[in-house]
Amino acid sequence: MLEVMGVLLADEPYFALFDVAQPLIDLIERHFLSTYDRQFMEIFMQKMLGPAFDKLGAKVTGDWNKE
């Protein structure tokens, strides 16, 4: 199984980061989607995930096809 994942995700350098963070992001996003605090949720996510991206050397461009 690990070999298959390695082949399928070989071009995904940040998969582990998203795998760990995505459930929390989904939970928080569901909470804020129907409120007026959406812009605060976006700022919170940037503050929460920014340091991890910085340590990995990732650049946040907003282009999800490249990130």
- pLDDT of res. 20: 75
47 or 65, which is more confident: 47
Quote the pLDDT of residue 30.
80
Where are the chain's structural domains?
14-56
**Cα 16 to Cα 33: distance, rounded to the nearest angstrom:** 25
Residue with the two structure tokens 């999800």: 64
- Locate 9 and state its tokens: 């995700």
Q: Which of 61, 63, 24, 59 is nearest to 44 (CA)?
A: 24
pLDDT tens digits, one per residue of 2-50: 565 565 556 666 666 667 777 887 887 787 777 777 777 778 778 877 8
Answer yes or no: pTM beyond 0.75: no
> Higher-confidence residue: 64 or 27?
27
**Six-digit token pair at 2?**
């690990």
